[in-house]
Amino acid sequence: MPLQRHWLTTGAAVVAALGVGFGAARWIDHSTPAAKPAENDHAEGEGDGAVVALTLEQAAQAGVAVVAPQRGGGAELKLPGRVSFVPGAEAAVDAPLAGAVARVHVGIGDHVSAGSPLITMRSPDGAASRASADAAQAAVDAARAAERRDRTLFERGWVSQARLDVTAAEARRAEAELRAARARVGAFGAPGPDGLTVVRSPIAGVVTRISVAPGQVLHEEALQVAAVADPRRVELVFEAPPSAAALLRPGDRLESTLAGAEAVSGVVVAVAPANANGVVVVRARPDTAAPPAGSVLSARLSAGGGTGALVVPLDAVQTVDGVPSVFVVEEKGFRARPVVTGRTADGRIEILSGLTGAERIAGAGAFLLKAELAKGEAEHGH
């Protein structure tokens, strides 16, 4: 006989909180007919339970975190950390030379592309560099003309080889000075003859700071203009004791938690040697939706060789049909799979059977999936 589903009277309030995040979700019944319950009794529960048809993106928007079961019994570290920009995702933009700010093109929060103008300034040094480049070009033109003239005279036998060599050397020297003058103009942001220079963003991203205003004069001691960062390019950075360096290696799984209990999983990509303060910096690449840069995290990292029972976040285990279950990610959504649980400690619970360890499951926010099943059951009953 089909199992009777019992739901808490507060389930309706939880379902209402789902809102748009679960608007596209629908309850799907067991994949195997109830008339043949014995065929569903698989060792790992594959095919058992109902499915919440929800994509990973929809789940993340609704507040459901996806994590991987961890193998207990290995070395474990608790690491304080934060979300930081990856190298190259943040730029501090300075003016290349002193001058007066003529115009500010962007404000804090504006999205910019690489090469977008940030400010326009007028600089006497910029005008001087452009004038030097123009003078160097004129000198090159004159030196090349002299070289052509002396070469013609030499071919007619009217000047010596020594005279031609000197003229050619002068032309090469003038060309070198022109290259240096052009490089100086480029380093100054290619100012025009009037000294107007446009300071541009070196990267694409969002303007996080503007340090100037029209009319402000920038000096060599204070040339800060703006800061730009790409909020999509972030990583998890943690601090560990020096003894942890021998235990950590790229590829280790990392499960971290925000102050609001939101789970963020990632993979270790780099472990730096201990710095002067005796701290090992661990960098990890998030493989789920990452919180904004600056968010504070704490992580539990199983490094190398856990061999005990599988452990999952305590929030991952929900009671479905009176049976402890976890929601496993499948192609069609999240399937409720019965499990046998063991001991609990430090916010985690052992899974004695029902999972292989290769699955991805719902962690924090799994109760929302349970509530969606209740909603689906009510609709199915009508």
Q: What's the pLDDT at 327?
A: 94
Any domain includes 82: yes
Q: Give the tens place of pLDDT for each residue, 74-89.
A: 556 678 999 999 999 9
DSSP string, 75-127: EEEEEEEEEEEPTTSEEEEE-SS-EEEEEE---TT-EE-TT-EEEEEE-HHHH
285 vs 74, more confident: 285
Domain of residue 255, CATH code: 2.40.30.170
Does residue 273 sit in the same domain as residue 317?
Answer: no
Does residue 151 sit in the same domain as residue 184?
Answer: yes
Does residue 224 sit in the same domain as residue 256?
Answer: no
Does residue 57 sit in the same domain as residue 184?
Answer: no
Q: What's the pLDDT at 221?
A: 87
How large is the C-alpha radius of gyration of the chain? 33
Distance CA 171, CA 122 (A): 33
Q: Give the tens place of pLDDT for each residue, 127-186.
A: 999 999 999 999 999 999 999 999 999 999 999 999 999 999 999 999 999 999 999 999
Chosen domain end from 269, 285, 301: 301
Distance CA 58, CA 62 (A): 6
Total domains, the chain: 4
Which residue range forms the structural domain that includes residue 144?
A: 125-188
Does residue 169 sit in the same domain as residue 197?
Answer: no
Does residue 251 sit in the same domain as residue 279?
Answer: yes
Q: What's the pLDDT at 37?
A: 37
Does residue 203 sit in the same domain as residue 81?
Answer: no
pTM of the entire predicted model: 0.60
Which two three-digit tokens encode residue 332?
A: 């069609």
Any domain includes 1: no
91 vs 77, more confident: 91
CA distances from 346 to 61, 342, 349 (A): 27, 13, 8
Any domain includes 349: yes
Does residue 175 sit in the same domain as residue 211?
Answer: no
**For residue 74, what are the contacts with CB-CB under 8 A and spacing of at least 6?**
302, 303, 304, 305, 306, 307, 308
Domain of residue 111, CATH code: 2.40.50.100
Does residue 278 sit in the same domain as residue 254?
Answer: yes
